[in-house]
């Protein structure tokens, strides 16, 4: 396979990128300067050595190659100790953080669950979530906010997580709420603007746990 095709094949594996867009990326790169391509190659090659996964919320963060374990959000003692927001992906966390209305801590599940998922506990960070809730509960956690997209996978994930954490919710007498009005059906959190997220957060509803 020649080099153009190899690069094309790599771009095709990106989420949401089809063969035609992959080809456009290759031709775009051909038209850029050497400096641009070198900068891109450097950033890509340094991803693994510089970016770490946070041991507390499981988001990716730039540890600058140092042996840091927690991200700046998790290390910030001035955040609201009483709330923990559960999101599916890093991009959702970024969207909420950008809205600047939430001051608590986060947990990133890493995935959503489809209706046909046979082993949900292996697809999302279920065990890690239990440990995170226990650790936060000891520091004054009162509320868990399930911030999942309002599509079928998001709903399915929410139902699974609610069931999964219910023993902890009872044991630590936690309140569980879900994002309310503002987010319309089918909306993906990652594509919601700051105002929408703010409204959804302010209008969150408390769940009645079984």
Confirm or reject binding of residue 86 to Zn ion (CB under 5 A). no
Binding segment toward Zn ion, per CB under 5 A, in 47-55, 87-95, 125-133, 164-172: 47-55
Q: How far is Cα 198 from Cα 184, in angstroms, rounded to an integer?
A: 13
Give the HSE-up count for residue 137: Cα atoms under 13 Å, Cβ half-sphere: 17
* Count of residues near Zn ion by CB under 5 A: 5
| 137 touching Zn ion, by CB under 5 A | no
Residue 83 lies near Zn ion (rule: CB under 5 A): no
Task: Using the rule CB under 5 A, give the single segment among 54-62, 122-130, 171-179, 198-206 that binds Zn ion.
Answer: 54-62
Of 186, 185, 184, 182, give the one whose Cα is nearest residue 198.
Answer: 182
Nearest alpha carbon to residue 162 among 133, 183, 184, 189: 133
Task: Report CA dihedral (10, 123, 59, 168) to the nearest 10 degrees.
Answer: 180
Selected range binding Zn ion among 67-75, 120-128, 164-172, 185-193, rule: CB under 5 A: 67-75
Q: Which of 8, 52, 57, 86 binds Zn ion (CB under 5 A)?
A: 57
Q: How far apart are CA 50 and CA 60, in angstroms?
A: 10
The least distance separating Zn ion from the CB of residue 112, rounded to whole angstroms, comes to 20
Q: Is 71 in the site for Zn ion (CB under 5 A)?
A: yes
DSSP code of 110? Answer: S
Shortest distance in whole angstroms from residue 61 CB to Zn ion: 7
Site for Zn ion, rule CB under 5 A: 54, 56-57, 71, 74
């Amino acid at each position: 396979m020649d080099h153009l095709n190899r690069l094309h094949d790599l771009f095709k594996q990106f989420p949401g990128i089809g063969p035609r867009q992959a080809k456009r990326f290759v031709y775009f790169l051909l038209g850029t300067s050497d400096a641009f391509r070198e900068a891109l190659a450097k950033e890509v090659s340094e991803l693994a050595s510089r970016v770490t996964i946070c041991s507390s919320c499981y988001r990716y963060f730039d540890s600058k190659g140092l042996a840091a374990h927690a991200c700046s959000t998790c290390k910030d003692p001035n955040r609201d100790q009483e709330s923990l927001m559960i999101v599916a992906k890093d991009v959702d966390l970024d969207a909420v953080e950008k809205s600047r209305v939430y001051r608590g801590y986060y947990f990133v599940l890493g995935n959503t669950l489809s209706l046909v998922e046979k082993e949900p506990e292996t697809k999302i960070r279920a065990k890690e979530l239990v440990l995170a809730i226990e650790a936060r509960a000891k520091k004054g956690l009162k509320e868990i906010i399930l911030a999942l997209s309002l599509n079928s996978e998001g709903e399915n994930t929410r139902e699974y997580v609610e069931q999964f954490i219910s023993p902890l919710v009872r044991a630590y007498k936690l309140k569980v709420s879900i994002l309310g009005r503002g987010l319309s059906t089918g909306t993906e959190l990652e594509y919601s603007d700051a105002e929408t997220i703010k409204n959804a957060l302010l209008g969150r509803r408390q769940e009645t746990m079984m």
